[in-house]
Structure formats: structure tokens, C-alpha cells
Chains A and B, each alone.
Chain A
Amino acid sequence: MLARKIKNQLFLLFVSTIMLLTCIPLLLIIKHILTMGASAFSLELILNTPKAVGELGGGIAHAIAGSLLIVALASLYAVPIGIIAGVFLSEFRNSKLTFPLRTALDTLAGTPSIVIGIFAYVILVVPLKSFSGLAGSVALSLIIIPIVVKSTEEILKLIPITLREAGLALGFSRTKVIWHILIKCHRQALLTGVMLALARTMGETAPLLFTAFGNSNFTLNLRGPMASLPVQIFNYASSPHKDWQEQAWSGALVLIILVFLLSLSAKLVISVKLKK
């Protein structure tokens, strides 16, 4: 009895220590971003467009708008496709399509983001002879899809089969079972996978370098080059000038806050609907 109690306490201690250690790098990184970026963080940064080195008042509004637009367009396609593919993998396990789909998705998940960028470049930028936010969205959707599929599949697999049987017994078609019981009732959990994918996608640089390219001007035109936060941060951080470097770090702070706000609002929207 005592041995079991001791094992229990030791285990709890162990897990709590691990949790603490996990938080350390995150807090260190956030502290670093704050110290480096706090100086340039201001309303001007969020609302203005870029200025040359040494000139005051430059901002990254164009990059914020660009990132939001490109990621929004990407997720409009990638999230439904991802959820549908995840549903397929968990509900139709014995289909002939299962093996090719899994292989294709696993390979996609392991593809470096730069290769995805190269692919989107070759199929969209070169034939149209123009960089575009659209090409960037296509590249980003290829990053979102594997994550959403995997999380959807894993969560759906854990739902007891009895729930599906109950639905079918009540006279639902399989489609209705999938939509109403599996997806709608578990949307909180599925949303976690989606937010994980979106959080990562907002910070991806390499796929956008050769697709959306970048733009020093404010534009909402997805058929032309478009700025994005990670690319703008990259350009500024690699420059030799201190004011641009500070803007880069503040940009990183803006990015993290943006993702935080997005996931918060998404969780709120989904939970409100549930309460009704």
C-alpha cells in the first residue's frame, strides 16, 4: 500500500517537473521577443505601411492584412478538405482509397515547406508570369491539410462506435451521422487541430517567398504580389539596420498576439453555438 502511494507521489512530482520545464523555453522566447520588440511596438506599427531606414513611423499594416487574407483563403479550402479526408480515414478504413490517401498525406506532412513553395511556384507563378497571394494560399493549404487530417482522424477514432450505431438506429444516413454526430458534436476538439494548423501556417516563411513574394505596398489584390508577416519579419531581421530589426521583433510579437486572438475568438464562436 505504501509502495503504491510513494509511486503515485513520485509520478505526480515527475510530471509536474516536466510541465515546468516545458514552460521554460516558451517563457524565455517570449521574454526575448518582448525585450527586443517592445521598443518598436506601437499603434503606428500596426496601422502604417513601411518607411525607409531611418524614417520614423514605418509599420507593417500591409503585412498583417496580407497574412490574414492569404491564410483566410488557404483555410477556406484546406479546412473542409482536411476534415473530409480525416473523416474518410476514420470512417471508411477498408476502402481501396485508404492506402493511397494515407501515403500521400504522410509524404505531404514530411515535405519541407520550401519544396511546397517550389511546387506552387511552378504551377501557378511561372505560367501566369506573376507572383500572387493566390499561389501563396495554395502553398499554405498544403501545409494545413496534413495537420487537420491527422487531428480529425485521431479524434474521430476515439469516439465510441456506439454513438454511430445509435445514429444509424435512429434512421440517420451515414452522411447525417458524420455531419451531425461526429463533426458537430465534437467540433471543439476538431477545432484544436485546426487552430494548431493555422497557428503554424501564420508563421511559415519559406512557402510564401516564391509564391506571394512580398510587397512593400498595401494591397488587397490576391492576384498580385502580397506582403505577409513572416516574410516581412525575415526581410527586416536580415537587414543591418537597428530600426528595421526592432520592427522585425515587434512584428513577431504582433504575429503571436494575432494568432492568440484568432484562436480565442474561434473557441468563443464555437462554444457559444454549443450553448444554444
Chain B
Amino acid sequence: MNKILFWNEEKIGISLIKIVVVLLILFICTMILLLVHMSLPAIKVFGLSFITNSEWNPVEEVFGAWPFIYGTLVTSFLALLLATPFGVFSALFISDICPLRFKGILSTLVDLIASIPSIVFGMWGLFFLAPFVRDHLAPLLREIPLSGPLFSGPCFGISILSASMILAIMILPTISSLTREIFNAVPTTYKEAALAIGATNFEKIKLSLLRPSLVGIIGALGLALARAIGETMAVVMLIGNTPQVVLSLLAPGATMASILANEYAEASSTLHLASLCYIAVILFAITMIVNFLARILIRVLSPKW
């Protein structure tokens, strides 16, 4: 009797898990297919040249997605670049270096950033970050030798740089929280072993914390990058929605998420709506490609148990 019950429990449990997984996959596929369906009119008219065209003219119904693809890639990767050191090292500080009484406060403080609504980030960015970038940061950045085209041109505050900076602040708690939990989950035996052979704090961290957590951290970075790619409201307010492809980070630009948020509600012509949905489909494709590359990276770096 017990044997039968045991196997049933195991089978039911695992089948339940698999059913949930299948339903989830189907639901997400429905979303992707629905958007492909809604973008068909645009695919028929523009085909693949949509991806390389740079003109976006709702009045004359000529649409091309390249400036938005460029903007999305630049802002999200720049945001990740800016946020990663702060996220990982703040997590390190909280989980390892910090004295016990401050751990709670600091971790709550960092997690609290996650609860700030994206519109508030946008508004704060508009009030503080944009003028700060225009008046203080831009002149400083222009002084960097050999930076040339990266910081050229006039800066009005609303720019790719400001949008990337606000994105970095927004994805920081994702990186920090998850990395903190990953650091906490590393068995203490590893740390003790390092200390036992006479390592300094720095060496202990290098040997016993960073190596095993690396894969997990990359997972957290993947999630953070995904959020940066898809973030809508804050970017909309800080990027200037100027569909152009310029090297300068101080110039305004546009991202795929921002054009969707800006124009979807008011778009009335079929082609305009379909083109916006086409952009969403391209966004799906880019997310998939970026994640593929990240997974290859993880496989390369994974220690072979």
C-alpha cells in the first residue's frame, strides 16, 4: 500500500509541475503569436527592410525601426554596465563586509528602490538628473581625452545618457537583491575553508564567494538587462523621443519601448498600429538573441561538476 501511495504522490506532484509549465509556455506563446498577428499588415508592406530603415513618419505612413533598435541596445547595455559594479559590490558589502547591525537597514534601503514607481523615477529624472547631466556631468565628460564622438554635440539634459543612468538606478535593486541572496546561499564551509588557510578578507571573497556565485550573478544580470530593455515609463520621460542614430551619448534618442508607450494609445491608422506591433515583435527577437548569448556565456563559465 505504502509503495503505491509513494509512487502516486511522486507522479501526481511531478505531473502537476509539468502541467503548470506547459500552460505557462502556451500562455506566453499566445502573447507572442498575437503580436505577430497584429503586426502582419506592417510586415506585408515593409518586410525585413523595416529593421534597417531609419524614417518614422506617421503622417506619410513610412515606418522604420532601426533608430529604436539602436536606442534600446545602447541604453540597456550602458545601464547594465553602470549598474553591475554598484549592484554586485553593494550586495557583497551587505552580505559579507557589513557589520551585523547595519545589514537589515542597508538591505531594506536597496530593496526600497525597487518599490519606487517608474513614473516617479521619470519625474525625478526630469527635475534633477537631466539638469545635472546638462550642467555638471556633460562638461566633465567632454574633458575626457580621446572620447571624441561619444560626448560631442550640445546637451539638453534629456539624452541617451540620462535615460541609461535612470535605468541603471532602476535595475540596481534587481542585481543587488538577487546577488545578495546568492552570496548568502554559498555554504559557509567554503568561506571557513578559505580563512582556515590564512586568506585575507579580500582573498577569501575572491576564492570562496565570487567563483561559485558567478553563474548565478550572470543570471541576475540577465534579468536586469531584460528589465532595462523593456522599461517604459522612465525612459519615455528622459530620452527625448528623437528617432535618430548618433554616436553621442549626450544626444536625445528613442527606444522601442519608448515609441510604443508614446504612440500606441493615440495611433489610429492600421499601418501605424501594425508597425508599432512589428517593433514589439522585433523586441521579442532581440530579447531571445541576447538571452541565447547570455546562456552560452554561462555554459562556458560554468564549473564542470
Contacts and interface: CB of A to CB of B under 8 A. Distances in A.
A112 B181 contact: no
Interface stretch (B40-48, B113-121, B155-163, B241-249): B113-121
B117 A229 contact: yes
Interface stretch (B23-31, B55-63, B137-145, B146-154): B23-31
A173 to B, nearest CB: 4
Interface string B252-265: 00001100110011
Contacts of A142: 31
Nearest to A178: B13
Interface string B211-223: 0110110011011
A109 B227 contact: yes
A160 interface: yes
B70 interface: no
B118 A203 contact: yes
B68 to A, nearest CB: 11
B90 A8 contact: no
A14 B284 CA distance: 38
Contacts of A204: 117-118
A123 interface: yes
Contact of A104 (B24, B172, B226): B24
Contacts of B18: 88, 95, 97
A158 B186 CA distance: 7
Contacts of A113: 230-233
B173 A32 contact: no
Interface string B55-94: 0000000000000000000000000000001110110111
A206 interface: yes
B135 interface: no
Contacts of B109: 23, 26
A187 to B, nearest CB: 12
Interface string A1-38: 00011011001101110110111011011101100000
Given A15-B93, A18-B86, A252-B116, A112 B28 contact: no
B195 interface: no
Given A19-B89, A22-B172, A158-B185, A256 B115 contact: yes
Contacts of A114: 232, 257, 260-261, 264
B121 A12 contact: no
A208 to B, nearest CB: 11
Contacts of A102: 291, 295
Contact of B20 (A29, A84, A151, A252): A84
Contacts of B89: 14-15, 18-19
Contacts of B172: 22
B117 A230 contact: yes
B281 to A, nearest CB: 10
Contacts of A85: 20-21, 24
A127 B163 CA distance: 37
B114 A112 contact: no
B123 interface: yes
Contact of A174 (B10, B219, B227): B10
Contacts of B223: 109, 146-147, 150
A230 B215 CA distance: 35
Interface in B1-48: 6-7, 9-10, 12-14, 16-18, 20-22, 24-25, 28-32, 34-35, 38
A263 interface: yes
Given A11-B202, A155-B185, A206-B261, A81 B24 contact: yes
B164 interface: no
A107 B287 contact: yes
B97 interface: yes
Interface stretch (A49-57, A128-136, A189-197, A219-227): A189-197
B108 interface: yes
Contacts of B34: 119, 122-123
A33 B20 CA distance: 41
A97 B117 contact: no
Nearest to A245: B123
Contact of A115 (B24, B128, B283): B283
Nearest to B117: A203
Given A22-B110, A260-B108, A111 B287 contact: yes
A19 B90 contact: yes
Interface string B168-195: 0100111011101110111100000000
Give the top 4 A-B pairs by smallest Cβ distance, nearest first.
A175-B13, A110-B287, A203-B117, A259-B115
Interface of A: 4-5, 7-8, 11-12, 14-16, 18-19, 21-23, 25-26, 28-30, 32-33, 81, 84-85, 87-88, 92, 95, 97, 100-116, 118-119, 122-123, 142, 145-147, 150-151, 153-155, 157-160, 171, 173-176, 178-179, 189, 192-193, 195-196, 199-200, 202-206, 209-210, 229-230, 233-234, 237, 252, 255-256, 259-260, 263
Interface of B: 6-7, 9-10, 12-14, 16-18, 20-22, 24-25, 28-32, 34-35, 38, 85-87, 89-90, 92-94, 97-98, 106, 108-121, 123-124, 127-128, 169, 172-174, 176-178, 180-182, 184-187, 200-203, 205, 212-213, 215-216, 219-220, 222-223, 225-227, 229-233, 256-257, 260-261, 264-265, 280, 283-284, 286-288, 290-291, 295
